[in-house]
Chains A and B, each alone.
Chain A
Amino acid sequence: MSLVELKNIRRVYRSAGGVEVQAVKGIDLVIEAGEFVAIMGPSGSGKSTTMNTLGCLDRPTSGSYLLDGQEVARMNRDEWARIRNQKLGFVFQGFNLLARTTALENVELPLLYQGVKSTKERKERALEALASVGLAERSHHVPSQMSGGEQQRVAIARALVTRPVLILADEPTGNLDTKTSDEVMELFESLHQQGQTIVLVTHEPDVALKCRRVILFRDGLIIGDGDPGEVLGTIAKGVIS
């Protein structure tokens, strides 16, 4: 059984004017546990839409989504919230930490919604997650006191703290400079080495090269899937320009 199985996923946006936008036009995608996948493609090609589907944040217009053996595409909002809480971890381009809230409290947040009643347990697990991203000693700092790279590492700790089966990161290095972006990617790599399944979206070939598999999107379809070198090569050759 694969961790993720998308079958013929379509997503049509209907705007107020009645104009239809086909963001994703029927994709099939299988991701095995432990994979480290990069999604690439031009702007508007449906990468974020697919990530939102994977993240149980957006309902596909049609198609099936098996996550960890469960059909989740037709679940209700509350069930999705539970799946997001227990099985998924999100890392966003804009970090999305709660302002004026310490790193520790930010990382504790998913545990609160999980209903972990013991304050001690929440604190210990949050500290452990912060330690694993190398920020244990910054646990009482609030986001405004941290650099972008540090904030993103706190966000990764928050994604990790519930030990999710899948981490989804939509352009996690998009707001970072090269140096901090490398730090964040090293962190993802080490998580991958510990067996964590990670799917990230990126525009940067350097970032994609650090992954084990690259999926290429264009116009709402997958047009390339395989070894990073190979897929990036096809882009470079202009085969699919």
Chain B
Amino acid sequence: MSPILTFRIALKALTANKLRTLLTMLGIIIGVGAVIAMLSIGSGARYMVEQRIQSLGTNAVFIWPGHRRGRNRGADGNEARLTVEDWQALEKLPEVAAAAPIVPTGGEIVYGNANWSCTIYGTTPVYIYQKDWPVASGRLFNDREIQSADNVAVIGEQVRKELFGSADPVGETIRIKNRPYKVIGLMTEMGVSGYGNKDNTVFVPYTTLMKKLQRTEYLRFLSLSAHSREEVKRLEKVAVDFLNQRHNIEDPDNGGFGAFNQAEATEAADKSTAIFTMLLGGIASISLVVGGIGIMNIMLVSVTERTREIGIRMAVGARGRDILAQFLVEAMVLSLLGGAAGILLGSGLARIIASFAGWPPIVSAGSVALAFGTSAGIGIFFGFYPAYAASKLDPIEALRHE
């Protein structure tokens, strides 16, 4: 019989019992929907992690002293210390596009009756440029203010919220360790993305922090940037070697200088989110298989329930293979329609989840193709046995069936 007629017969049989058809499809709809949604969550999470790491600056290399590795972990003793001179010497290397010193400390900020704890960074505007972090109002500190270690501060959005509410803080005076600081700038909101809450930050000139807030002669970190992403790895090595040499470090793994770059971290994070995505996909695939078994189950029940129908069809001239084809086509139409509906459901879910999680709703063509292919496969695989069983029925017995 021609495929068109087989298709017609199968469609008529499906539309003759819409409720059964819908219930059968439900398993596939949910299975495919779950796969699409899960894969989309995976992609979203991966996007978030990448964003997070990139927000630190993809070309950036972080340098710190006192690096210990392997058997040296936890040991103490002589270790290198990072100085302002180290920074200035590094800045002259051709591999270094920009370099910023970082000295962090915690502290309480007081404004009027309100007080609030946050992280205070002593640095230069270069560090903020490296992060591509715009100023919302006011300005960053200038060279003159750094030279003279002025009491000026640039505050993060959360600090503003806690101390000033919605008012503009620029021009106001806050107190840190009982000294007045003039607020000269407010940073834009970064959200809770990135490592830690960046909005709960106050920036002051590194000179101010070293001389007035912490009384230290040493820097804690350097943030270097390479000329391009490709040069990050080389910069890391050049900078670490340069510093180790400058400080006559014999064993760089025991108290020498350490480095961390975003490019590598991105790759590592990509790998771990890929595993996460696979895990989610795997869980969702199980529900797809369950949906397939559901189809087989209902098709099997339906073969029993439709025994008389099959007998009638055989009496009027259907061959075994016509019945087989009809049931297979029915199963495939069910799976494909269910698959299509599942893709819609999954994309909808992905959208809703994305709007809550704050990542873009990524539904990749690959995941749609995968879900669709699997549902077609499920139709054939799980539809075959019931269809075969139906095709082998004896017409007389089938007609006698109540």
**Contact of A92 with B399 at beta-carbon distance under 8 Å, contacts A100-B16, A100-B17 already known:** yes
Cβ of B301 within 8 Å of any chain A Cβ, yes or no, is no
Could you give, for residues 282-310 of chain B, a 1 whenever the CB lies within 8 Å of some chain A CB and a 0 otherwise?
00000000000000000000000000110
Stretch at the interface among B170-178, B229-237, B254-262, B315-323: B315-323
**Contact of A112 with B5 at beta-carbon distance under 8 Å, contacts A98-B16, A105-B12 already known:** yes
Cβ of A18 within 8 Å of any chain B Cβ, yes or no, is no
Q: Which residues of B, 124-159, contact A by the 8 Å Cβ criterion? A: none
Alpha-carbon gap, A82 to B320, bound state (A): 11
Alpha-carbon gap, A234 to B311, bound state (A): 37
Instruction: Find chain A residues with CB under 8 A from B4 CB.
Output: 117
**Contact of A117 with B320 at beta-carbon distance under 8 Å, contacts A96-B308, A96-B399 already known:** no
Instruction: Find chain B residues with CB under 8 A from A239 CB.
Output: none
Cβ of B396 within 8 Å of any chain A Cβ, yes or no, is yes
Q: Are B317 and A113 in contact (CB under 8 A)?
A: yes
Closest B residue by C-beta to A109: B316
Cβ of B240 within 8 Å of any chain A Cβ, yes or no, is no
Cβ of B350 within 8 Å of any chain A Cβ, yes or no, is no
Q: Are B317 and A110 in contact (CB under 8 A)?
A: yes
Q: Are B322 and A113 in contact (CB under 8 A)?
A: yes
Could you give, for residues 195-229 of chain A, a 1 whenever the CB lies within 8 Å of some chain B CB and a 0 otherwise?
00000000000000000000000000000000000
Q: Are A112 and B8 in contact (CB under 8 A)?
A: yes
Q: Which residues of B, 318-357, contact A by the 8 Å Cβ criterion? A: 318-322
Q: Are A77 and B315 in contact (CB under 8 A)?
A: no
Cβ of A146 within 8 Å of any chain B Cβ, yes or no, is no
Q: Are A113 and B313 in contact (CB under 8 A)?
A: yes
- Which of B17, B314, B317, B395 lies in contact with A114, CB distance below 8 A? B317
Could you give, for residues 205-221 of chain B, a 1 whenever the CB lies within 8 Å of some chain A CB and a 0 otherwise?
00000000000000000
- Which of B9, B308, B319 lies in contact with A81, CB distance below 8 A? B319
- Which of B2, B8, B316 lies in contact with A84, CB distance below 8 A? B316
Cβ of B312 within 8 Å of any chain A Cβ, yes or no, is yes
Q: How far is the CB of B397 from chain A (nearest CB, A)?
A: 10
Closest B residue by C-beta to A58: B396
Q: Are A115 and B2 in contact (CB under 8 A)?
A: yes
Q: How far is the CB of A208 from chain B (nearest CB, A)?
A: 24
Closest B residue by C-beta to A106: B312
Cβ of B365 within 8 Å of any chain A Cβ, yes or no, is no
**Contact of A78 with B319 at beta-carbon distance under 8 Å, contacts A57-B395, A98-B309 already known:** yes
Q: Are A52 and B396 in contact (CB under 8 A)?
A: yes
Closest A residue by C-beta to B308: A96
Cβ of B114 within 8 Å of any chain A Cβ, yes or no, is no
Could you give, for residues 373-402 of chain B, a 1 whenever the CB lies within 8 Å of some chain A CB and a 0 otherwise?
000000000000000000000011001000
Cβ of A158 within 8 Å of any chain B Cβ, yes or no, is yes
Q: Please, how many residues of chain B have a CB less than 8 angstroms from a CB on the other chain?
A: 26
Q: Are B317 and A81 in contact (CB under 8 A)?
A: yes
Could you give, for residues 100-126 of chain A, a 1 whenever the CB lies within 8 Å of some chain B CB and a 0 otherwise?
110001000110111101000000000
Instruction: Find chain A residues with CB under 8 A from B75 CB.
Output: none
Of the listed residues B12, B317, B318, the one surrounded by the most CB atoms of chain A closer than 10 A to its CB is: B317
Cβ of A85 within 8 Å of any chain B Cβ, yes or no, is yes
Instruction: Find chain A residues with CB under 8 A from B312 CB.
Output: 96-98, 109
Instruction: Find chain B residues with CB under 8 A from A85 CB.
Output: 316-317
Instruction: Find chain B residues with CB under 8 A from A86 CB.
Output: 317
Q: Are B2 and A90 in contact (CB under 8 A)?
A: no
Instruction: Find chain B residues with CB under 8 A from A117 CB.
Output: 2, 4-5
Q: Are A57 and B315 in contact (CB under 8 A)?
A: yes
Q: How far is the CB of B207 from chain A (nearest CB, A)?
A: 86
**Contact of A84 with B313 at beta-carbon distance under 8 Å, contacts A96-B308, A112-B9 already known:** no
Cβ of B1 within 8 Å of any chain A Cβ, yes or no, is yes
Alpha-carbon gap, A81 to B394, bound state (A): 12
Q: Are B320 and A78 in contact (CB under 8 A)?
A: yes
Q: Which residues of A, 52-101, contact B by the 8 Å Cβ criterion? A: 52, 55, 57-58, 77-78, 81-82, 84-86, 90, 92, 96-101
Q: How far is the CB of A148 from chain B (nearest CB, A)?
A: 17
Alpha-carbon gap, A113 to B309, bound state (A): 14
Alpha-carbon gap, A113 to B12, bound state (A): 14
Instruction: Find chain A residues with CB under 8 A from B8 CB.
Output: 112
Of the listed residues B4, B9, B313, B321, the one surrounded by the most CB atoms of chain A closer than 10 A to its CB is: B313
Q: Are A115 and B12 in contact (CB under 8 A)?
A: no
- Which of A84, A99, A115 lies in contact with B1, CB distance below 8 A? A115
Of the listed residues B5, B309, B315, the one surrounded by the most CB atoms of chain A closer than 10 A to its CB is: B315
Instruction: Find chain A residues with CB under 8 A from B316 CB.
Output: 84-85, 90, 109-110, 113, 158
Q: How far is the CB of B237 from chain A (nearest CB, A)?
A: 75
Alpha-carbon gap, A90 to B320, bound state (A): 19
Alpha-carbon gap, A100 to B305, bound state (A): 14
Alpha-carbon gap, A195 to B302, bound state (A): 41
Could you give, for residues 1-20 of chain B, a 1 whenever the CB lies within 8 Å of some chain A CB and a 0 otherwise?
11011001100100011000
Q: How far is the CB of A45 from chain B (nearest CB, A)?
A: 18
Instruction: Find chain B residues with CB under 8 A from A112 CB.
Output: 1, 5, 8-9
**Contact of A81 with B318 at beta-carbon distance under 8 Å, contacts A52-B396, A113-B313 already known:** yes
Alpha-carbon gap, A117 to B308, bound state (A): 26
Alpha-carbon gap, A92 to B8, bound state (A): 26
Add 5 more A-B contacts to A84-B316, A112-B9 (CB < 8 A): A55-B315, A78-B321, A96-B399, A99-B16, A110-B316
Residues of A within 8 A of B (CB): 52, 55, 57-58, 77-78, 81-82, 84-86, 90, 92, 96-101, 105, 109-110, 112-115, 117, 158, 162
Listed by A's residue number, 7 A-B pairs whose Cβ atoms lie within 8 Å are A58-B396, A84-B314, A97-B312, A109-B316, A110-B317, A113-B1, A117-B4
Top-7 shortest CB links A-B:
A85-B317, A113-B317, A81-B319, A110-B316, A100-B16, A78-B319, A96-B312
Residues of B within 8 A of A (CB): 1-2, 4-5, 8-9, 12, 16-17, 308-309, 311-322, 395-396, 399
